[in-house]
A = this chain, B = another copy of it.
Amino acid sequence: MNHKVLKSKIIKIFKKYKLSNEHALICANAIINAELVDAPTHGLSRLKMYCDRINKKLINPRPKIKIKKISQSISQIDADNSIGFVAADIAIKEAIKNAKKTGIGLVGIKKSGHYGMSGYYAEQAVKKNLIVFCFTNAPPAIAPYGARKSLFGTNPVCFGTPTSSKVPFILDTSVSVINRGKIRVAERAGKKIPEGVALDKFGKPTTNAKKALAGVQLPISSFRGSGLAWMVDILSGVFTGGNHGGRVKDPFDDFSGPQNIGHLFLVMKSNLFVGNYSKRIKENIKRVKRLPKIKGVKEILYPGQRKHRRYKKNLNKQINIPFNIAKDLKKLDA
């Protein structure tokens, strides 16, 4: 389906589910963006879930989002159980505003939900020539180092900076070795998963995809990744007032209450300390790119570059909608 057609469909659906024009547009933009960068797990495949949660009054389609100014640099947002997209969109704009005014902007958000891709918000700040961190927590997926039960989310570390070109540097990396979807694919194909990726339900390392799905996923680099996941949970949950320590509910199958996800956005003017940031970052990237490459590598890409290429390529293509999602879409749009 053409992405413009799809977008108006999504807007129509969200409005049917009581969102305002403005909020429906924010959500549709975020979902379409996920599809265009080939991250369908954060796109259309979640649409029905959002609508279900609105139906069950776990997402508030008409939230009264409160922005509390703590200082000229710092704001707190109570998102009143809005869809995460809406909370995050308002929050990143607030953080940008604060940073533009004072050099640094910090925004803590609570009572939010799954907001899609961190990089999508980071990009907004980068386009205003700002450096940015986005943190969010998520439902339990990763076992802390030493544990055999998951508690941390895949908790991305997301960092962005302008590059002096149109393609932003956006590092948006989860702390799990591979994503759950890949394990599901291996299971269906009867294939093994790599070593060091997951434990079975008894806490023993496994390469059996089925056993891995019943067990836990492992963080990257054992205690290091576990520590990073813990850090993100503290920053986005403990610090902001959101849920934390394994209490963020899975949006797909836990309808016992709102998610109360927390996010933390930090934005800084890129030229705070140097007058020529743009020149410096350009030089930095150039130095990395001209290094001798390992066999088979034609170009060293910076984080975000590959995603940007996919986006540009997909802009002129039809978005492929899997059968079951097309069915959902039809029902929601009925």
Mark A residues whose CB is within 8 Å of B.
Answer: 70-71, 73-74, 76, 102-104, 106, 108, 110, 131, 143-149, 151, 157, 159, 161, 169, 171, 173, 177, 199, 203-204, 220-221, 223-225, 227-228, 230-231, 233-235, 237-241, 244-247, 266, 268, 270, 272-274, 277, 280-281, 283-284, 286-288, 291-295, 297, 299-303
A-B residue pairs in contact (CB < 8 Å), sample of 20? A73-B104, A74-B104, A143-B291, A144-B291, A146-B299, A147-B292, A148-B294, A159-B231, A169-B230, A173-B223, A173-B228, A199-B294, A203-B295, A220-B220, A221-B225, A238-B274, A239-B274, A240-B273, A245-B288, A246-B287
**What CA separation (Å) do A272 and B77 show in the bound complex?**
12
With both chains docked as a complex, state the minimum distance between the C-beta of A318 and any C-beta of chain B, in angstroms: 29
Is the beta-carbon distance between A230 and B303 smaller than 8 angstroms? yes
Contact of A151 among B104, B173, B247, B291 (CB under 8 A): B291
With both chains docked as a complex, state the minimum distance between the C-beta of A99 and any C-beta of chain B, in angstroms: 11
**What CA separation (Å) do A212 and B329 show in the bound complex?**
53
Q: Which residues of B contact A244 (CB under 8 A)?
A: 280, 284
Q: Which residues of B contact A280 (CB under 8 A)?
A: 238, 244
